Amino acid sequence: MLIKLIGGILIIVASGAFGIGMGNKYGGRPKELKRLRILLQMLETEIIYGATPLPFALANVASKADNSLSHFFQDIAEGLIRGSFYSVKEAWDKAVDTSLQDTYLGASDKELLKSFGGILGASDSNDQQKHFKLFYKQLEQQEDLAEEDRRKNEKMYRSLGFLFGIVVFIVLV
Amino acid sequence: MDVSLIFKIAGLGIITAILNLVLIKSGREEVAMMTTLTGVVIICMMVVNLISKLFDSIRTMLMF
Amino acid sequence: MINNGNMSDILKYMPANISSILVKLPDSIVEHVEEVRLRVGRPLIAAGSGKEYVMGSMGWLEAAKGEPYIVTVEDIKSAVQLISNFSVYSVEDEIRNGFITVSGGHRVGLCGRAVLDNNKIRTIKDISFLNYRIAKQIIGAADKVMNYIIRSPDSIYNTLIISPPQCGKTTLLRDIIRQLSDGVERYSFRGRKIGLVDERNEIAACCFGRPRNDIGIRTDVMDSCPKAEGIIIMIRSMSPEIIATDEIGRREDGEAIIDAINAGVKVITTIHGNDIEDFLRKGSLESLRKDLFERIIIMSRRNGVGTIEKVYAENYCEIYSA
């Protein structure tokens, strides 16, 4: 009887944790998008008002960011400073593919980010500002979508995990 | 007759109801429907033995 | 003569396709390359010492047979990013002037579609022509003229250098500045404080405010600053004994130079022209004619870049002729 009980608890905890994990995926995305937007705003300030060269601007932003996003900016900055890339786009695309793997950002977010890499640094500050504005709009849209996704899914996956565990327990006992 | 079976069915019923609620709330009516159906089927499978036993005993009663 | 200009310095500002072609040039040619030209849809050309080297994808066309390498739009785009350190916005002013100075003092001229704003160039878009100019500081380029410029161990003559483009005018001025600033032992000339107003950033080749060329130990540099304003600021704030500046031409420049001379500061400057007549004819520099310059040096490239053609003293009387 005791073993049954322990087994049951294990099942419920496991599936509950799985559900919470799934839920977090939806919860993390809008947060990360928002953080990304704030970091890009910093980058914009560096570019428009500081006229800091892009590699250094990126490094500055990276020092203010936390973990995964910081890696992203750091990787680009380092790549550009070391001179291992011939354009920002190359460095940016590669960083999107490799450094953002342990974030919650989805494929569509990455696509959007990639489209921005080709523009960054490639024109005068007026133009850059416009592109930044446009990109914020697109990011906000993405944020809204992510937020809606979160509202729909986060709670559901969390409760679903537990409930499923309980069902399995009841059916098996 | 086992009382625990009744509890089991009750538990499943409650959970199916909650699942149904959660799924409907997050806008997945079809999935909610399926889940409810699955719940019903599972419970049916649990009681099908008992029902067949019931039929058997009725039959033996009448045929006798 | 020491030559610090080296083509390998600028290779890192070129896209992969192009630098990989240029490294195939033999060292004997590389030494002489002064310019590398990129034009969209046209062959890649390196030039130097009056010769042109059309490049094929395997190297110099005359040495290695094949089709010329045609520069693509992507090449230029990538080059612009590399030159500007991936930040076109941070070199807007340079682009407006048509060139960017990269580390090492080399300059990249650029051309494309000008975007106007109130009849002034706001920026250059769709850049499609690039000219990498390899800067060569020649230490000792001014040896031949120093004795004309130095008046006494602690004073010099106001000097004007007249020269057509590409004759080594800037190189000469740079070396004069270096020698006057460090002091010239041969004429027991003590080094003087020099204020260098480097509007086109050609003389000192500053990168983030730090001069890349040797311009002497007593030289202060105001780079990328309009000459007229720069001269006034220099006189007011840095107490120079000599003001040096490049390529005067506008009326304000002339007035600022008169101000400087009236303030007791010696002036060394250059203008474009072939002969002293060209200078006398320049309407905008009318005010400068009356004997302000005690020495006028005329340059040409008759015997190679940097030939000193003539030197005039006061009242335009000739004291040296090649």
Domain boundaries, chain C: 2-133, 138-321
The arithmetic mean of pLDDT across residues C7-14, rounded, is: 79
Helix-strand-coil percent breakdown of chain C, rounded to 5? 30, 35, 40
Q: Which candidate in A124, A125, A127, A130 is best for mutational testing of the C interface (most C CBs within 10 A)?
A: A124
pTM: 0.69
The arithmetic mean of pLDDT across residues C290-316, rounded, is: 84
Read off the pLDDT of residues B30-60 as tens digits, 9 standing for 90 and up.
989 999 999 899 889 888 988 899 999 999 9
Q: What is the mean pLDDT of chain C?
A: 84
With a cut of 90, say whether residue C242 has pLDDT above it.
yes
CA distances from C278 to B13, C163, C274, C284, C285 (A): 103, 10, 6, 12, 11
Helical residues (DSSP H) of chain A, grouped into ranges: 2-48, 54-64, 67-82, 88-99, 107-117, 125-172
For the CA atoms of A52, C210, C2, C21, the dihedral, rounded to the nearest 10 degrees, stands at: 0
Provide the percentage of residues in chain A whose pLDDT is more than 90.
Answer: 23
What's the CA gap between C282 and C267, in Å, rounded? 19
Residues of chain B contacting residue A160, judged by C-beta atoms under 8 Å apart:
19, 22-23
- Please count the helices (runs of H) and the strands (runs of E) in chain B: 2, 0
Q: Is A121's CB within 8 Å of C95's CB?
A: no
Residues of chain B contacting residue A147, judged by C-beta atoms under 8 Å apart:
none
Provide the percentage of residues in chain C whose pLDDT is more than 90.
Answer: 18
Q: Grade residue C50 by pLDDT with cuts at 50, 70 and 90.
A: confident
CATH code for residues C2-133: 3.30.450
Task: Give the contacts of C296 (CB within 8 A, at least 6 positions apart).
Answer: C159, C160, C161, C162, C276, C279, C311, C312, C316
Give pLDDT, residue C40.
92
Q: Is C85's CB within 8 Å of A54's CB?
A: yes
This complex has an ipTM of 0.74
Q: Which residue, chain included where needed, has tokens 């809008």?
A: A30
Are the CB atoms for B32 and A166 separated by under 8 Å? no
The arithmetic mean of pLDDT across residues A82-102, rounded, is: 85
Q: What is the mean pLDDT of chain B?
A: 87
Residues of chain A contacting residue C84, judged by C-beta atoms under 8 Å apart:
53, 121
Give pLDDT, residue C2.
33
Give pLDDT, residue C290.
64
CATH code for residues C138-321: 3.40.50.300
- Half-sphere exposure for A14 (CA within 13 Å, toward CB): 8
Give pLDDT, residue B1.
60
> CB-CB: which of B11, B19, B28 is closest to A170?
B11
What's the CA gap between A87 and A119, in Å, rounded? 11
So where are chain A's domains? 2-172
Give pLDDT, residue C129.
93
Q: Which residue, chain included where needed, has tokens 């905890």?
A: A13
Is A128 at the interface with chain C, CB within 8 A? yes
Q: Is C87's CB within 8 Å of A47's CB?
A: yes
Is A11 at the interface with chain B, CB within 8 A? no
